[in-house]
Amino acid sequence: MRNKLYIDGKWVEGLSGEMIDVINPATEEVFAKVPAANAEDIDKAVGAARKAFDNGPWPKMEGRERAAYLRAMGKRIEERLKELARIEVLDNGKPLPEAEWDIGDVAACFYFYADMAEREDIKQEEIIELQDKRFTSKAVTVPLGVVGGIVPWNYPMLMAAWKIAPALAAGCTIVLKPAEQTPLTALEYGAIADDVKLPAGVLNIVTGFGSTAGQALLDHRGVDKLAFTGSVPTGSKVMQAAARDIKRVSLELGGKSPFLVFEDSDIDEAVEWVMFGIFWNQGQVCSATSRLLVHEAIYDKFLEKLAAETAKITIGNGLDEGILLGPLVSEKQYLQVLAAIGQGKKDGAKILTGGKRAKGFDKGYFVEPTILVDVPLTSHVWNEEIFGPVVAVRPFETESEAVHLANHSRFGLAAAIMTKDLKRAERVAGQLKAGIIWINCSQPTFVEAPWGGFKQSGIGRELGRWGYENYREIKQITSYVSNRPWGWYSK
């Protein structure tokens, strides 16, 4: 395990000497330590990224040259997939097959943005048709600058890839700060950068706490853009810090996404998607479909099946075979999730299944998959993101009631619809206020498609060409082509 910062192409100690314990959430053991970077370390890293952007070759390269580096990084990640997935499980707790998906997606993200970096239609100048024929004009895009990327602990390597790959493809340089709970796979990006001989300073990885290293990155005047994934309160701090220098900002924040199950749904299929939508990654997913709305005609039958299938979920150490649900990431998260369930009960919700620490473990942050019914509309569990394996359920009578309930949220990241009536699916999809709508599924994510939310779920979109454009600045180039003098004072 790496235990240094990766700055300017070198592995260096943190200046304060303070280290962060990295805890395996399945065993509660400290199995690694990484530096707790301070503001001076951040200053060094931003300085390196600044120098690489202002004086280095990276932003000036042809897209196809950058593409070759990105492709080599993707290849290296693929070669190390099994090993990186194991590190992710030790750090985050998720089941190994899910970690392997993640790392596969990380490699795919690098390949996708390698292709984008060399695509002509992305770089091509766009000629602007002016009415005034004395001028010609074109719009071009250029690399934006130095990026400060801050990512959370739920998909540590993948959320970092969603920032690093498009930023590098677009010609930016980056300082990335992973979450203090899960820093290890982020540091592996440093090793991968070394392997492919990425120019020094283009990619810098600085581990540290949010309030110190994170805040120093937000506040640093050498950073041009902040790219953040995490909670709404921290997202708000990112925007506040960005405001002083008018830094560019993109935010991917929380959600309380609804899943609407209509009466014509295939119950078996719907149950599997509903379970996947809330229990994969232990429910620690920003797009988790954590508010379940089921048509009253199938409500009882659906819940019976959902409870029966949920009871079969195998819980345990993510490295063990056949596990579907691992521990939550940290003690803090574990206590918060149990507290939210307790608050739900106080508010009048009933526990259909789960609700407690999982049985049979003396160590580890295991929480049973939990279904809450009769959940009051005003309750905390209905309105707030729990970020755990907890789904809140309510029945509905009509389509318009379902849409109204679904939209009644300060979040708007995702929504899912289950129905055999495709006209209805399209109609409801058109009415839901969310950045991602899933029809007859929940959660599949594609590097080609835009990802991000309405309302308090964020600003901007990641992935696809939208992700690339996040890291470009637009420039208008206009020429005076008339033979005549301009005529302000000359004639």
The correct pick among 210, 277, 388, 395 for binding ligand ADP (CB under 6 A) is 210
In this complex, which beta carbon is closest to ligand ADP, that of residue 151 or of residue 393? 151
Q: Least distance from C-beta 14 to ligand ADP, angstroms?
A: 15
Q: Pick the binder of ligand ADP from 5, 52, 90, 150 (CB under 6 A).
A: 150
* Cβ closest to ligand ADP, residue 150 vs residue 406: 150
Query: Residues 88, 100, 102, 180: which binds ligand ADP (CB under 6 A)?
Result: 180
Distance of closest approach, residue 383 Cβ to ligand ADP, in angstroms? 18
Beta carbon of residue 249, minimum distance to ligand ADP (angstroms, whole number): 12
Number of residues that bind ligand ADP (CB under 6 A): 16
Among the residue ranges 144-152, 318-326, 397-405, 456-464, the one whose residues contact ligand ADP (CB under 6 A): 144-152
Q: How far is the CB of 308 from ligand ADP (least distance, A)?
A: 32
Give yes or no for residue 152 binding ligand ADP (CB under 6 A): yes
Q: What does the H/E/C string look like for the chain?
A: CCCCEEECCEEECCCCCCEEEEECCCCCCEEEEEECCCHHHHHHHHHHHHHHHHCCCHHHCCHHHHHHHHHHHHHHHHHCHHHHHHHHHHHHCCCHHHHHHHHHHHHHHHHHHHHHHHCHHHHCCEEECCCCCCEEEEEEEEECCEEEEECCCCCHHHHHHHHHHHHHHCCCEEEEECCCCCCHHHHHHHHHHHHCCCCCCCEEECCCCHHHHHHHHHHCCCCCEEEEECCHHHHHHHHHHHHHHCCEEEEECCCCCEEEECCCCCHHHHHHHHHHHHHHHHHCCCCCCCEEEEECCCHHHHHHHHHHHHHCCCECCCCCCCCCECCCCCHHHHHHHHHHHHHHHHCCCEEEECCCECCCCCCCCCECCEEEECCCCCCHHHHCCCCCCEEEEEEECCHHHHHHHHHCCCEECEEEEECCCHHHHHHHHHHCCCCEEEECCCCCCCCCCCECCEECCEECCECHHHHHHCCEEEEEEEEECCCCCCCCCCC
Query: In the range 213-232, which residues lie near ligand ADP by CB under 6 A?
Result: 214-215, 218, 230-231
Q: Which of 88, 252, 368, 384 is catalytic?
A: 252
**Listed ranges 118-126, 204-212, 301-309, 362-370: which one lies at the site for ligand ADP (CB under 6 A):** 204-212
211 binds ligand ADP (CB under 6 A): yes
Q: Of 211 and 482, which CB lies nearer to ligand ADP in the complex structure?
A: 211
Residue 423 CB, shortest distance to ligand ADP, in Å, is 39
In the complex, the smallest distance separating the C-beta of residue 233 from ligand ADP, rounded to whole angstroms, is: 7
Is position 252 annotated as part of the catalytic site? Answer: yes
Alpha carbons 209 and 438: distance in angstroms, whole number: 35
Q: Does 237 bind ligand ADP (CB under 6 A)?
A: yes
Measured from the CB atom, is 215 or 257 closer to ligand ADP? 215
Residue closer to ligand ADP by CB (options 234, 317) is 234
The CB-of-434 to ligand ADP minimum distance in angstroms stands at 20
When the beta carbons of 237 and 248 are compared against ligand ADP, the nearer one is 237
Nearer to ligand ADP, 33 or 345 (CB): 33
Q: Can you give the binding site for ligand ADP, defined by CB under 6 A?
A: 150-152, 177, 179-180, 209-211, 214-215, 218, 230-231, 234, 237
Q: Which amino acids are annotated catalytic?
A: 252
